[in-house]
Structures are given as C-alpha cells and as structure tokens.
Amino acid sequence: MKHTEVTLSKHPKVRSIIDPKTVICVCGKRVRLDRNYDPDLLDRHVKNKICKSNDGNSQITQFFSNQNSETLKKRKLCIGLNDEKVRLYLRRVGFITTFGGAPPPEIVARELFGSKIKSSFHWKDLNKKENDQLLDTLRSRAKWINDSTTFCVRSTECSTYIEGINEVCRQCLDLKKSKVFLVIK
C-alpha cells in the first residue's frame, strides 16, 4: 500500500498530521515516523504503554466532549468525493480520463496542433513538448481530477484542508451538481 497524506489522515489514531514524518496521536503524544506518511511507528506507539488512546471509555467520552472545541479547530484533509455514484463513474471511465469535465484529449490536441493530428489521435504521436502542452491544457480546463490512488474525485479547486465537522470541502461537494454525476444511476 502506498502511504500518502490522505491514507495517513484516515488512520483511526491520527489526531493531526504535522508534517510527512510527524503526527499527533489521538492520545495527544507526538510520534515521529521513519518514512513519509508510513503509520508503522504510530502503530507501534499505540501498542506501547505510554499511549493512552486505548484506555477504555474515558478516551471515547473525552473524545466526544472535546469534539466541539477540538475537532472544529483541527485542520483535516478534504477526502474528495467517493460515494456510490462517484465510484460507479470512476469504474465507467476506467481512469482513462484523469481530467474530468475537460474536452476529450483528441479535440484539445486538434485545437493546439491543428492538422498535425490525424483522424485517429494517439498520445504516442506527440513529442515530449506537445505531450506536456496537452496535459497542461487539459489540466487547466478540468473541473475535477479522477484520483486513481485514493479512488475519489476531487475538484480542481479543492481547498485541500478543511475545518469544522465536514470531511469534504465546498468545491468538491459542488461537483455533485455536475451533470455527469447527477445522471449516474
């Protein structure tokens, strides 16, 4: 499994991520990781007596009573959209489309390079510079990104971090109103 900020932020013992190698455990202790976003040392810390996160119910009640003051302030990562409809959509596009809401690559390629693009478009016919230019243009026209590593859809204007009790930022939530997702059944 690939360790990313997103996967680590979903770890049940993570209260907050300070930097790629430092997290705050739900018990309040700071834990150093040996590799970026790798929870291995956090798991070891949790099994250790110095970690109070497993101290029965006191922790849970404390967690809920602290929730208003604590969780509202903590910065969380927007998890993007990954509900039923989005998963269906991702399965259908098969991650061939990374840049959601942008025109098809062959159309944009023709706009950019004109008649150089034959009737059947192939990425491999482009040189490095053209390839980069096409990718940049698609990215700039995209409304969302299909993220194959975390299996979610994220707005290109995702605010990345969110505050409060929500798990998804406003821009990502707004994507649900896009026709593509509304029509999925």
What angle do the packed helices 105-113 and 128-141 form, to 10 degrees?
A: 120
Q: What's 38-69 look like in SS3?
A: CCHHHHHHHHCCCCCCCCHHHHHHHHHHHHHH
Least distance to Zn ion from the beta carbon of 79, Å?
Answer: 8
Number of residues that bind Zn ion (CB under 5 A): 9
Least distance to Zn ion from the beta carbon of 29, Å?
Answer: 5
User: Order of strands across the sheet with 99-100?
Assistant: 99-100, 144-147, 152-155
For the chain, report the end-to-end CA distance as a whole number of angstroms.
Answer: 31
Least distance to Zn ion from the beta carbon of 46, Å?
Answer: 6
CB 131 within 8 A of CB 102: no
CB 167 within 8 A of CB 173: no
Query: Among candidates 144, 152, 139, 156, which has minimal Cα distance to 80?
Result: 152
Given the rule CB under 5 A, which of 27-35, 59-67, 92-100, 128-136 is the region that contacts Zn ion? 27-35
Task: Answer yes or no whether residue 152 interacts with Zn ion by CB under 5 A.
Answer: no
Least distance to Zn ion from the beta carbon of 117, Å?
Answer: 34
Binding characters for Zn ion, 51-80, by CB under 5 A (x = yes): x-x------------------------x--
Which tokens belong to 150?
């975390």
Query: Among candidates 97, 122, 101, 65, which has minimal Cα distance to 174?
Result: 101
Task: Answer yes or no whether residue 42 interacts with Zn ion by CB under 5 A.
Answer: no
Given the rule CB under 5 A, which of 28-36, 91-99, 122-130, 141-149 is the region that contacts Zn ion? 28-36
Given the rule CB under 5 A, which of 22-30, 32-40, 135-143, 176-184 is the region that contacts Zn ion? 22-30
| Residue placing its CB nearer to Zn ion in the complex, 100 or 105 | 100
Task: Answer yes or no whether residue 33 interacts with Zn ion by CB under 5 A.
Answer: no
Helix (H, G, I), strand (E, B) or coil at 129: helix
Task: Answer yes or no whether residue 17 interacts with Zn ion by CB under 5 A.
Answer: no
Residue numbers of the site for Zn ion (CB under 5 A)?
A: 25, 27, 29, 51, 53, 78, 158, 169, 172
